[in-house]
């Protein structure tokens, strides 16, 4: 789309009328490019320690989700955990309490983790998004991209032995793929230098309890991979 100021100047140029531009005023096109670049710039979270990173997340206004959130959902757990659990986005209860994976799905996740010796207090739990999408809709690409830097810094700080990607959206966004969860699970992937295992979301397991056995297999795989990394 042509900037209105560009149209005006082109019109005046065609009439042979000189246009004076202040020396320190950027050209409209350059200003528009600068504005787009600023919006697309990565989150400035490189090198932030935990307190500064929490502050950056709590005050974030990089996408429209800040307008509808109750509070941000930073993540909880052991900041030096061997296991890092990553879900998709906060729901209504998470938005209210400021903690990921609460409610029935959270209780089921806790039970699953305890079954392989990893209670909530031992792992670090975070989400792709730090704010709840309205009506629990799927994250938009621009929302997940604006939050990605926060999550990447969390991973750098935790330095987990294993990442457990919980649910379709988390798995596909982390691995940059549209492959279904059913085909992603059952093997170890790599997120940078960190092994990553995919499993079903607890909310899905509540609707489809027959799939719990597959999630148990995924957790056992994650436990084996984490043990191998520790050796």
How far, in Å, CA of 19 to CA of 35, rounded? 23
How far, in Å, CA of 207 to CA of 64, rounded? 31
Q: Where are the domains of the chain?
A: 50-230
What are the φ and ψ backbone dihedral angles of 197, each rounded to 5 degrees? -120, 140
Q: Element (H or E) spanning 78, and its range?
A: none
113 with 123: CB under 8 angstroms? yes
Specify the fold of 50-230: Uracil-DNA Glycosylase, subunit E (3.40.470)
The pLDDT value given to residue 218: 98
pTM: 0.81
CA–chain centroid gap for 33, Å, is: 26
Give the Cα-Cα-Cα angle 18, 19, 20 (nearest 5 degrees): 120
The pLDDT value given to residue 114: 96
The pLDDT value given to residue 45: 72
Strand order in the sheet with 194-199: 76-77, 124-127, 83-87, 162-166, 194-199, 188-191
108 with 69: CB under 8 angstroms? no
The pLDDT value given to residue 231: 85
The pLDDT value given to residue 10: 53
- Averaged pLDDT in 10-residue chunks for the chain of 231 residues: 53 48 46 43 72 97 97 98 98 96 95 95 97 95 96 98 97 97 97 97 96 97 96 85
Q: DSSP for 10-29?
A: HHHHHTT------TTSPPHH
The pLDDT value given to residue 7: 54
88 with 129: CB under 8 angstroms? yes
The pLDDT value given to residue 121: 93
The pLDDT value given to residue 3: 54
200 with 181: CB under 8 angstroms? yes
């Amino acid at each position: 789309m042509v900037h209105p100021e560009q149209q005006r100047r082109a019109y005046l140029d065609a009439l042979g009328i000189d246009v004076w531009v202040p020396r320190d005023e950027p050209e409209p096109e350059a200003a528009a490019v600068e504005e787009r670049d600023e919006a697309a710039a990565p989150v400035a979270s490189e090198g932030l320690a935990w307190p500064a990173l929490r502050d950056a997340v709590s005050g974030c206004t990089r996408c429209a989700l800040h307008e509808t959130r109750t509070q941000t959902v930073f993540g909880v757990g052991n900041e030096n955990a061997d296991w890092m659990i990553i879900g998709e986005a906060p729901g209504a209860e998470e938005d209210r309490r400021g903690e990921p994976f609460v409610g029935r799905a959270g209780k089921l996740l806790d039970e699953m983790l305890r079954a392989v010796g990893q209670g909530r207090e031992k792992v670090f739990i975070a989400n792709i998004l730090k704010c709840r999408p309205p009506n629990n809709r799927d994250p938009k690409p621009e929302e997940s991209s604006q939050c990605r830097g926060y999550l990447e810094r969390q991973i750098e700080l935790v330095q987990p032995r294993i990442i457990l990607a919980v649910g379709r959206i988390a798995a596909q966004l982390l691995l940059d793929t549209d492959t279904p969860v059913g085909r992603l699970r059952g093997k170890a992937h790599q997120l940078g230098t960190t092994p990553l295992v995919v499993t079903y979301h607890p909310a899905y397991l509540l609707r489809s309890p027959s799939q719990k056995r597959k999630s148990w297999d995924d957790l056992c795989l994650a436990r084996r991979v984490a043990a191998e990394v520790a050796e």
